[in-house]
Structure 1
Amino acid sequence: MASITFKGNPITLLGNEVKVGDNAPNFTVLANDLTPVTLADSKGSVRLLVSTPSLDTGVCDAQTRRFNEEAAKLDNVKALTVSVDLPFAQKRWCGANGIENVQTVSDHRDLSFGEAYGVHMKELRLLARAVFIVDSDDKVTYVEYVSEGTDHPNYEAALEAVKAAK
């Protein structure tokens, strides 16, 4: 499993570590209107899947804004930001920040995404910061588990990977 820290403290990640070349695991999360969202819902598109501890923190806020800005320039890409924030809080945050190109989804109910992608932080019951690119054939083409939970992901590498995925 990936080794990460959060504010310098070691964290235990629960779930299955995802690697490049794996078939992307399915998951069920909730949209802001409480409808289920799965990986299969975006079959045929490249997926930019980003997990984050909480939209109401500085790095998560900046990260989601950045991917929202970049997603507007991408064709045939479905961008999801997954956190355990409640769907109502995600909807409020997106409305207040003009987020329209990234769909925020909640994993609060059963940590389906967190377990499937190995980003469930046991000690905090939050998701670790990570980026996964899944191609239109459901193959994982890029993985970044951010080693320190309060650091930004490598935006440039993730964006190059999403552009290269088909």
Structure 2
Amino acid sequence: MMKVTFQGAPLTLKGSQLKVGDKAPDFTVIDNELNPLKLDDTKGKRVFLSVPSIDTPVCDMEVRRFNTEASKLNNVTVYTISMDLPFAQARWCGTAGIENVKTVSDYKDREFGENYGVYINELGLLSRAVFVVDENDKVIYVEYLEEITEEPNYNKVLEILR
């Protein structure tokens, strides 16, 4: 099991870590209209941003940055996945003016968290990670952040997508 830290305190992640070349595991998450969304419902190149909560400063910066970058990319959809309830995600996106990133919630079944190895046992939240999946459901980029309060490597993610 991979260990991550939150402000230096060690936490445990549930599930197996993905590697580049793996087939993206299926999952069911809930969109802002309370409809289920599965991997099969997503198409093209996809970026899955796993975050603890969109209502925190680092997540806010990360999602805003990807919202800006996503508008410049072709055939790429960016999903932000957290345990936040769909109502809170929709409210946050409206307030923040987020239009190019889709927020979905793993609160119901925790399938994304467990299948992608980002579910934090101690907190019941998702750890910070980035997964890029190609048109054939193959994982082409993975970044698990060891310290949850750090931002991902935006440049590496964008390089892969271009």
**Cα deviation 1:72-109 (Å, max 9, x = unaligned):** 11110111000000000000000001101000000011
- In structure 2, the residue matched to 1:133 is 132
Distance 1:122 1:162 in 2: 31
**Cα deviation 1:104-127 (Å, max 9, x = unaligned):** 000011111000100000000000
Aligned residue for 2:148, secondary structure, equals coil
Distance 1:162 1:49 in 2: 13
- In structure 1, the residue matched to 2:7 is 7
What's the RMSD between the two structures over aligned residues? 0.8
Unaligned segments of structure 1, at least 5 residues: none
Distance 2:75 2:39 in 1: 15
- In structure 2, the residue matched to 1:32 is 32
- In structure 2, the residue matched to 1:82 is 81
How far the C-alpha of 1:162 sits from its partner, in A, is 2.1
Q: Aligned runs of 1:50-65 on 2, under 5 Å? A: 50-65=49-64
Sequence identity of aligned pairs in percent?
A: 58
Question: How many aligned positions are there?
Answer: 162
Aligned residue for 2:112, secondary structure, equals helix
Q: TM-score, normalised by structure 1?
A: 0.95
**Does residue 23 of the first structure (1) align with residue 23 of the second (2)?**
yes
Aligned residue for 2:33, secondary structure, equals coil
- Checking the alignment, whether the CA contact within 8 Å between 1:81 and 1:103 is kept in structure 2 is yes
Distance 2:158 2:98 in 1: 18
Q: Aligned runs of 1:134-149 on 2, under 5 Å? A: 134-149=133-148
- Checking the alignment, whether the CA contact within 8 Å between 1:2 and 1:145 is kept in structure 2 is no
How far the C-alpha of 1:33 sits from its partner, in A, is 0.4
Q: TM-score, normalised by structure 2?
A: 0.98
Q: Aligned runs of 1:90-105 on 2, under 5 Å? A: 90-105=89-104
- Checking the alignment, whether the CA contact within 8 Å between 2:2 and 2:12 is kept in structure 1 is no
How far the C-alpha of 1:158 sits from its partner, in A, is 1.1
Distance 2:118 2:74 in 1: 27
Aligned residue for 2:48, secondary structure, equals strand
Amino acid at match of 1:116: N
Distance 2:42 2:53 in 1: 23
- In structure 2, the residue matched to 1:113 is 112
Amino acid at match of 2:64: R
- Checking the alignment, whether the CA contact within 8 Å between 2:89 and 2:104 is kept in structure 1 is yes
Q: Which runs of 4+ in 1 moved over 4 A?
A: none
Distance 1:128 1:142 in 2: 16
Distance 2:36 2:66 in 1: 22
Amino acid at match of 1:132: F
Distance 1:112 1:65 in 2: 25
